[in-house]
Structure 1
């Protein structure tokens, strides 16, 4: 008889889902899972049939897991290419709130991936992860240096989370992976950090590895460079040279800013009134605006480039960061001569990152700014996911053929 816990994992059921599907209490499911009791043969057979039917019914799609998921940007990208998410891990409770509001899976979002055994993760074809970038980013490294703290792989709290990606890849051997990080990952510690990543993925795990730094400005009106890492368990014809990049800057801020003319409906506290005007709460106070102007003037006099970033409808913005909630200085929207500028609303941030209009924002503005600042630009990764998909199926089909021959 097959192990009940393993069958449950293969079927992709939570305890609650299994109880409902099998017609037993959750207590029964837990006892069977722990090996304290033995389920009937009919229960085992039903689970086996569920797994077989799932494999037949889902032909033409692939299963993926979403690690360090944030609010689901990489999930949206993978789903656009025919992927099915079977497991999600995200530790931040506010990000979980936004994720579950937009992806009601009827299964929990798992918290700290370090506490999850690889064998408890469902089988999957693609591993997707935007593993934490703070230890590798320019800002993160500068901050840690100033505090006298270690960074990169020496950082025990974040840098080594990459090794959780490795242990899951090692255990499940999925057909492919897609990883995302900041552009500076390649140059961190004079390239030694990336050398470790490359060696682990290729020499130790045997995956191929293709990388490309892509600027989101090809898809959204934002200068945002990120490194994309794609790997396959077997050699394929995948190449980033086949990636379609629209003309840079074809979209401008006017495409994501509230029109404030009544052509869109007012939304929550973001916009108000019949014309859906941006709420005045997003306009900078005289004190904050004076401070930002003085700060910019001081650094300009010193020959530094620090200061605020002003945009209008014709602009392409700077990179939206997780610190945007503090003062909004990297992207301030002009309100005309003599008027204080304003911050973007969270809805405008969602648009700037390529999320659809029906994407729900159930958290406070502060949390929303952090979440969108930490997110990926969805259209960039959707393009990569769609480029990957035929090669994923190719590797899956080759493996299926070998199993039949065996």
Structure 2
């Protein structure tokens, strides 16, 4: 099953050059780095990410991956320097795939290349995603020594039958020891949960919430399962082998999660994310929602620099081939016009607790209706921010459609 198709876009110059417009307002935007590691042992049935098992790599070697990434790092440095947008990274996020399938020394080598090339701010947040069965105390010590500050753990569920439906192979009992080992070497910890899997009952979800809270991570993400076209799960649902997710049940699950997280001292700061005491948000992901700049390295990775969005060739073989010819791995881009940027700002900033400034709205008329419908916090709106209520978080699309008035 191939991952989802790339969007359409205009061609990218072979040298990857950015238009002069990307310099506008550069000093007001943070810069982050995303590094994609596209390798997995098995493909989970619900997953639509750009990942590949060993049999799907078509001659591309995991061992050579750090060297291929280094070529793109060098190219990105030149492109950003020529465009006048080069600056230190405030955040780095290594995602996948399963980054921790690579030996920690190889991850450290790639991180070292990024730090030596771009520089990191002294307080840079450096996150690595991990499956709980691919890391232990030794690996975590090496990652911490390489500058990693944060571990994001793919927990998904604490209930074995839910993990089986999702094709997750780890033992849920591994979560606690991994969180503890990460904390022991000074890393902040985050656990990812998924709710609404076929056959998952409310009591199953409650058990997963309680298990996550028992480990006292610094941060918790909880995502509603989305059935992506072309996945194994989509085919199973189409054949009637498993039921489709129930929207009403998912809404109830979200409300339960928000209630229990809040009772345990976690504050929501984005629709699907909670931070303990409000002090440990993912700064990297917040920068996405705030419209900051980032460069995405690796096959299929997306980047955004000053209103220019571009994306790399998806398959590792195609990515490697382009770099071997000395041309950018980016195969398409979009220069966002003002209307698109306005729509995206509404889409992103109405998802976060700090909200969207009312002053940026072209037409404030719909705001009163959204407040009356209980979707937007009225007091916050009077103070100048559009912030969703709990009901608004469940119906976020209605806020976006209501406010996006050309």
State the TM-score, normalizing by the size of structure 1: 0.31
Between structures 1 and 2, the one with greater strand share: 2
Structure with the larger RCO, 1 or 2 (CA within 8 Å, 6+ apart): 2
TM-score of the two chains, using structure 2 as the length reference: 0.31
